[in-house]
Chain A
Amino acid sequence: MSDADLSAADPRLEVRRASKTFAGRTVLREADLKVMPGQMHGIVGQNGSGKSTLAKVIIGYHSPDPGIEIAVDGEDLAMPVRLRDLRAAGVGIVHQDLGLIESGTVIENVRIAALKGSGPWRRVRWSREAEEARVALDRLGFRRDLRTVVKDLAPADRARVAIARAIQEHEPGHGVLIFDESTRALPADALEDFYETVHQLLADGTAVVSIGHRLGEILEHCDLVTVLRDGRVVAEGIPTEGVSEGDLAARMLGHDLVHLSFVEGRRQVGASRIAIEGLVGGGVERPFDVEVGHGEVLGLTGLPGSGFESVPYLLAGAEPARGTLAIDGHRRDLARSSLRQLVGAGVVLVPENRPLEGLALNHTVVENVSLPWMDRRGKPWATGRRWQLDEVRELIDRLGIVPPDPSELVGKLSGGNQQKVLLGKWLLGDTRLLLLHEPTQAVDVQARQDILRAIHDIAERGASVVIASTEPEDLVTICDRVLHFREGAVSEEIAAPFDAAQIIGATYSTEAKSRPSATFRNDKQGAIQ
């Protein structure tokens, strides 16, 4: 395509000073990105580093903070970004897990946002839509009938459908294609096919931005890579030539780790108290067995969707599970245990989603904290104010909740203090098994320290703790042992002493080639959330 030469001097996509603040918290700070025609540019970073936010700012899903500039082929887009302008400029995105409607046909999935009505009744003329879809699909080497329902397609063809939707308005050789972890749902044998298609587009002159989670895949296929950490670009567009996964992991992690002093005195891990056998459910696909001792903190980690994050919910009875959970020798069948029974047995769940699952924001601190203890501490005719206040004041002291006011509405506290309330709510009783999911998500350094210290205290008093987390520093600080999950099962045990690089290495290293394609399953999408 010779017309690509005209603009060869200009970057296909240039983003300057992209920032995004959510409710006072800046998750992306002055990020720059430059992608030339025919280049594939990888963006990597840990969870919460801002890489997905950057993609969503570029495609206009999030409205960015003022000061940003986005130029396509040398032409600045008008701010704020409007979806229409982006599409006209040729920016298309392929979403996480491809974003296809399973029950729709190929034509419907490709054309959904571009359908045109015609005639007085604004009818859709499917023959014309099919022609349009065919043009884009042909470029990608799609050979199936366009009326095939998407769920009957092979994974590689599903990817083609998703890509066709993103590039259908590009002239060949133009446009920017953004992959937001698009290969997550693809099995190993479809990956090769997928990248072959992508490289064809690149050869035409299309630019590709790939937000990735498998470092090996990024290093293999991208020309340049940008690393984000804590919302900042820490390495902008470095060539991937000669870079190793270890180098990249070190850059993602950075060196300013927070070291918590209280860990010096290691806890005594006592005899096994919790025995989990044959746990299956949610994202856990193969039976999971583990024993956790008195005072032990067990970490579970892996990529999002690998199953580790389901474990706390399964053990707490919050999601349907199979398997047994033995506490102090008392075995229960999880399939037949209700959440209430497990709470009664001292099993406590601190879920990830504070506003949805953890706390009622329009109730006060004291109301939230005392809710689970009404049965045991209150009387049927009166909740009893004295014990609630006494216990809550002690918690406020112990966890350093600010402001120290039991009657403050939880919704008015900062994220870190809300998390402390959420944790504190479960500290009033005799906790035997504490289950946490991302306990330090979106909290500041001080709050994180307080929270980890509280977890440490609980373990020190003899409780067994299971933490599902993607924060390597947290796991290093607090855990005695970490189990790494991949594809719904434990893939590696990391025993103390270990460091964050080991956890990052286990999580982000490429073992894609060894992934059995049988594990490709779309029906589990959404089951984890």
Chain B
Amino acid sequence: MSTPDTHQAPAPEAIEEAEPPVYHAGRLDVRDLISRTSLIGIWLLVAAGFAVFESGLFLQEGTFKTIFGSQYELVFLTVALVCTFTVGEFDLSVAASMGLAGSLVPLLNVQEGVPIVFAVILALAAASAVGAINGFLVVKVGVDAIVATLGMGTLVLGITLWITNLNTINGLSHGFAEIAIRDVFGLPIAFFYGLAACLILAYILAFTPLGRRMAFVGSSREVARLAGVNVDRLRFGAYVAGGFVAGVAGVLLAATLGGYNPNTSQTYLLPAFAAVFLGTAVIQPGRFNPLGNWIAVYFLQTGIVGLQLAGLTGWVENVFYGGALVLAVSATTLIRKRTGK
């Protein structure tokens, strides 16, 4: 291999291009664009399919409102999950945190007479505290994230059922309900909260130093640590933020329903995971991204509503969520393999 010319130091190869390549913006790569937006295309196809075959039922304003006027709690749950996923962690307790916050609001306000503002603050604090305990167990003690958050989730669910005596507590005021269901352009305002939450998290991840650090902690913890990033603080913070956002989901759900049935909490966990993983197939393929989640949540909802209108009820949600989760994760894995990661 070693030839005589290695004895002289050749001048560094002249980099013969006047114009450095443009960074991200302005570069149009059609294949890239297609891979980023394929899920949106499938979404439109699914909607078009329902529109053709069930035009009488599907093409109604009511259907549109059914799809977009619900599921904002799921959007918040996906945001909570992305907080921890981005830093390479895992949180199986978000649904239980949501249930705790959703139950505490009516419990404190209706049963204990605590003013609604304080009830909300306490509920959010409780959900954040669950996140903090998760963070302590995983980051400081070093417990495996799956074990710690699965355990905490089950524990919190149990406590929620206990303090509510397994009952749904109703009776929150209509005034309070307005924070979630006030009509804005024909949709409940909470729909826009969910969209805003996704946009804010997407901004943080894409454009701020905090987001850059989170992404590095997630993809290579040791690299981040050696670069001077306070890795443990970010991991801990992600759990607390995840708990807080899950709490917001619970408060909005309680406001919408006027109360909360604690038995329903766990049914949200799988759909949230399905949407998060499905979201990794869109916008920024292969990465957890909040806008992808948002699209995934409403893609799944479109499919479910369409199938329900076709008369398939009861079992269709599980089949659709579970099937989409498996397919999405497989698709993401294949994308990663192909991009040589």
Q: Tell me whether B216 is interfacial, beta carbon within 8 Å.
A: yes
In the bound assembly, the distance between CA atoms of A374 and B212 in angstroms comes to 9
A396: which B residues are within 8 A, CB to CB? 15, 20
A261: which B residues are within 8 A, CB to CB? 8-9
In the bound assembly, the distance between CA atoms of A367 and B216 in angstroms comes to 9
B193-207 CB mask vs A (1 if < 8 Å, else 0) is: 000000000000001
Q: Tell me whether A126 is interfacial, beta carbon within 8 Å.
A: no
Flag if A404 contacts B216 (CB, 8 Å). no
Beyond A362-B219, A381-B208, A411-B341, whether A397 also contacts B6 by CB under 8 A is no
Partner of B220, one of A343, A360, A382: A360
Flag if A339 contacts B207 (CB, 8 Å). no
Interface stretch, picked from A31-39, A252-260, A462-470, A521-529, is A252-260
Most chain A CB within 10 A, of B2, B13, B24, B228, is at B228
Residues of chain B in range 259-275 having any CB-CB distance to chain A below 8 Å: none
Which of the four size classes fits the interface of chain A?
Answer: 35 or more
CB contacts between A and B, total, < 8 Å: 115
In the bound assembly, the distance between CA atoms of A260 and B9 in angstroms comes to 6
In the bound assembly, the distance between CA atoms of A396 and B12 in angstroms comes to 12
Flag if B23 contacts A400 (CB, 8 Å). no
Beyond A445-B6, A450-B12, whether A382 also contacts B222 by CB under 8 A is no
Q: Tell me whether B225 is interfacial, beta carbon within 8 Å.
A: yes
Residue of A nearest to B222 (CB): A357
B1: which A residues are within 8 A, CB to CB? 230
B226: which A residues are within 8 A, CB to CB? 316, 318, 339, 349, 351, 357-358
Residues of chain A in range 438-460 having any CB-CB distance to chain B below 8 Å: 445-446, 449-450, 453
In the bound assembly, the distance between CA atoms of A41 and B1 in angstroms comes to 27
B215: which A residues are within 8 A, CB to CB? 360, 363, 367
Beyond A339-B228, A363-B216, whether A407 also contacts B15 by CB under 8 A is no
In the bound assembly, the distance between CA atoms of A453 and B9 in angstroms comes to 10
Flag if A262 contacts B9 (CB, 8 Å). yes
Flag if A383 contacts B209 (CB, 8 Å). yes
Flag if A397 contacts B15 (CB, 8 Å). yes
In the bound assembly, the distance between CA atoms of A356 and B221 in angstroms comes to 9
Most chain B CB within 10 A, of A360, A379, A405, is at A360
Residue of A nearest to B14 (CB): A400
Residue of A nearest to B287 (CB): A362
Residues of chain B in range 1-59 having any CB-CB distance to chain A below 8 Å: 1-2, 6-10, 12-13, 15, 17, 20-21, 23-24
A339: which B residues are within 8 A, CB to CB? 225-226, 228
Residues of chain A in range 398-420 having any CB-CB distance to chain B below 8 Å: 400, 402, 404-407, 411-412
Residues of chain B in range 148-205 having any CB-CB distance to chain A below 8 Å: none
Flag if A343 contacts B209 (CB, 8 Å). no
Most chain A CB within 10 A, of B6, B13, B219, B226, is at B226
Least CB distance, B149 to chain A, in whole angstroms: 25
Flag if A445 contacts B2 (CB, 8 Å). yes
In the bound assembly, the distance between CA atoms of A405 and B15 in angstroms comes to 11
Q: Tell me whether B224 is interfacial, beta carbon within 8 Å.
A: yes
Partner of A371, one of B10, B12, B23, B212: B212
Q: Tell me whether B340 is interfacial, beta carbon within 8 Å.
A: yes
A366-406 CB mask vs B (1 if < 8 Å, else 0) is: 11101110110011111101000100010011001010111
Q: Tell me whether B213 is interfacial, beta carbon within 8 Å.
A: yes
9 chain-A/chain-B pairs, Cβ below 8 angstroms: A351-B226, A362-B341, A371-B229, A374-B212, A381-B208, A397-B15, A406-B23, A407-B24, A446-B10
Additional pairs, 20, CB under 8 Å, beyond known A367-B216, A371-B213, A380-B210: A258-B7, A262-B9, A316-B226, A318-B225, A339-B228, A343-B228, A356-B222, A356-B223, A357-B223, A363-B215, A371-B227, A379-B209, A389-B23, A397-B15, A400-B13, A402-B13, A404-B21, A406-B21, A406-B23, A446-B10
Residues of B in contact with A (beta carbons under 8 Å apart): 1-2, 6-10, 12-13, 15, 17, 20-21, 23-24, 207-213, 215-216, 219-220, 222-230, 286, 340-341
